[in-house]
A and B are shown apart, each in its own frame.
Chain A
Amino acid sequence: MSERNSTIKIMRGSLGTMINQIEELTDSEYDLYFGPAHPGSGNFSVKLKVDGEKIISARADPGYLHRGFEKLMEYRLPIQNAVLSDRICILEPLNWNLVHAEAVDELMGIEVPSRAKYIRVLMAELSRIQSHIIWYGVFSIGLGFDTGFKMAFGYRDYILDIFELITGGRVYPAGYICPGGVRRDIPKSAQDKILKVLDKINEMIKLEKLENPSLRSRTEGVGVLSINDAIRLGATGPVLRASGMQTDVRKDDPYEIYDELDFEIPVRKEGDAYARYLIGIEEIKESIKIIKQVLSRLPDGDFIDPSFKKPKLSAKIPQGEVYIRNEIARGEAGVYMVSNGGNTPYRCKIRGPSFLHMIPVLEYLLKGAQIADVPAIYWSLNICPADMDR
């Protein structure tokens, strides 16, 4: 009997808390999780505090993809790290190869042969184009515009075919751009194929223009980032340029052969999602211009420093430290590498552009926005959870 009484007591108690909870729920504020296993978010989550349709505050919650590459690189030889550097960002492995290779080159004092520099820039720009195409694709699907998504991934495949021809891998080149140069020369047939693919990409950009109005109505005036906020929050690359800042690491802090090439930096003043998307499309056109110049000027010679053709695994990295900056599709990529004279780096800090775009910039832009605009803002930042988590 007494047992039954106590059960009833407990039931009453929990009913009481339930009533309390219901009272709390009738309040229009609630939490909404966007990600990390959401098809529209990538491997990353944002916790949104929502009042009705309006977002009161957003809190980024990274770490779903954290692999600790910086620590792992301290235990690996540069030749192994070249392969690891692919994985920093899934969507543009060649660009990350390049940043890592340049850091080792500068620490070891290697003079990279000029043909290798041209091939490196060629690959980096092809990689930028395919990354921007993915950006366009995921941006479209985020807004429910399926045609754009399918078109983008279809055309991206042409570039992946070239990657397969040159590096052997469609997505991951396995450290194709390595310390000293590149792993192998580009085949003779590659030049014509690349030019044909560039024509295809031009075709895609023209098609994309036809579909514009539906994208435009969802993105214009959404997620506006002023230039001062952009700098304070650490935005770089297309996001910063869409807010009106004329800057590009390739121009301001030139590496490889970018100072010899002729290209423009697209800039827009509006700072909204639509402006960021337009910057992406403009940058594809500029990259096509760069690739055509590189192909017409490609010099003969070695594609890798002769001493690196058969890499000595016991080779020591001279003592020193360097900070390398590159312009990758998402913004500014950096590698800070320290060596104390051993054969592995003593410390390798990787600065990914998405680290700033996905945490402070995203949190700032989502505050005060509508739920329906979350995908537009999120994908307009051209983000990659992999390079943030590393």
Chain B
Amino acid sequence: MSKEKEILDDFSSKFDVKVKTQRDRRAWVSIKKTDLLDISAWLKEQGFTHLSSLSVTDWIDDDKYELTYHLWSYKDNILITLKTKINRKNPVIKSVSSVWGENAQIHEREMHELFGVKFEGNNDLSPLFLEDWKGVPPFKKDFDWRKYVREEFYDKNNERESGYYD
């Protein structure tokens, strides 16, 4: 049995989750949001010390946010992606900064700014990129950036810019 399969089997039996193997070194796992911290702590013990990326996908039709945690193990060379869905209207989830330290902290800060997800236990979620931003978080699917740009930056009476208003 390969090391990769061993880890994935361990994982699925311990937490009762279904592991989908996409190709070599890529595994995708959907988990419940309440299990996130337990699973994170266990995976880190197993050698997944590197949080490669944290991303949010806005599934506006289902009224859900999907959070994806891409975890890499330097020891066994495998990438596990944890996926969990949360409510879009009240996007709250426990922070994993207690597990992956400042690395997770900064990723969460970015996602809080761009999607408005609240990470409970993250002590610094101050704005990162946008200065004096007052609108809705700009990466949400229902944020109409064309309208925003028209209202904030363009002038209807300006000859060169009137083309943006049809």
Binding site for B on A (CB under 8 A): 62-63, 66, 68, 70-71, 231-234, 236, 245, 247, 252-253, 321-323, 325, 332, 334, 336, 338, 346-347, 349, 351, 355-356, 359-360, 364, 389
Q: What CA separation (Å) do A59 and B106 show in the bound complex? A: 12
Q: How far is the CB of A361 from chain B (nearest CB, A)?
A: 9
* 13 pairs from A and B in contact (CB 8 Å cutoff): A62-B128, A66-B129, A71-B145, A231-B49, A232-B100, A233-B102, A252-B77, A253-B25, A322-B22, A323-B53, A334-B53, A336-B53, A351-B53
Give the residue among B26, B58, B110, B128 with the most A Cβ atoms within 10 A. Answer: B128
Say yes or no: A360 contacts B53, CB within 8 Å.
no
Beyond A63-B128, A231-B74, 19 additional pairs, beta carbon < 8 A? A63-B131, A66-B129, A66-B130, A71-B139, A231-B49, A232-B100, A232-B101, A233-B101, A233-B103, A234-B100, A323-B26, A323-B52, A323-B53, A323-B70, A336-B70, A349-B53, A351-B53, A356-B103, A364-B102
Residues of A within 8 A of B52 (CB): 323, 325, 332, 334, 351
B91 within 8 A of A: no
**Please, which residues of chain A bring their CB within 8 A of the CB of B77?**
252-253
Contact with A along B43-76 (1 / 0, CB 8 A): 0000001111101011000000000101010100
Given A66-B130, A71-B145, A323-B70, A347–B103 Cβ distance below 8 Å? no
Contacts of A360 in B (CB 8 A): 102-103, 105-106
Min CB gap B86→A, angstroms: 15
- Complex Cα gap A183–B70 (Å): 31
List residues of chain B with CB within 8 A of the CB of A336. Answer: 53, 55, 68, 70
Contact of A334 among B22, B25, B70, B101 (CB under 8 A): B70
CB distance from A59 to the nearest CB of B (A): 10
Contacts of A233 on B, CB cut-off 8 Å?
101-103
Contacts A332-B52, A351-B52; A247 near B102 (Cβ below 8 A): no
Q: Looking at the assembled complex, report how far the CB atom of A73 sits from the nearest CB atom of chain B, in whole angstroms.
A: 11
- Name which of B28, B50, B68 has the most chain A CB atoms within 10 A of its CB: B50
B106 touching A359 by the CB < 8 A rule? yes
Q: How far is the CB of B149 from chain A (nearest CB, A)?
A: 11
Per-residue 0/1 for B16-52: is the Cβ within 8 Å of any A Cβ (1 yes, 0 no)?
A: 0000001001101000000000000000000001111
A62 to chain B, nearest CB (A): 6
Residues of B within 8 A of A68 (CB): 138-139, 145
CA distance A360 to B57 in the complex (A): 24
B84 at the interface (CB under 8 A from A): no
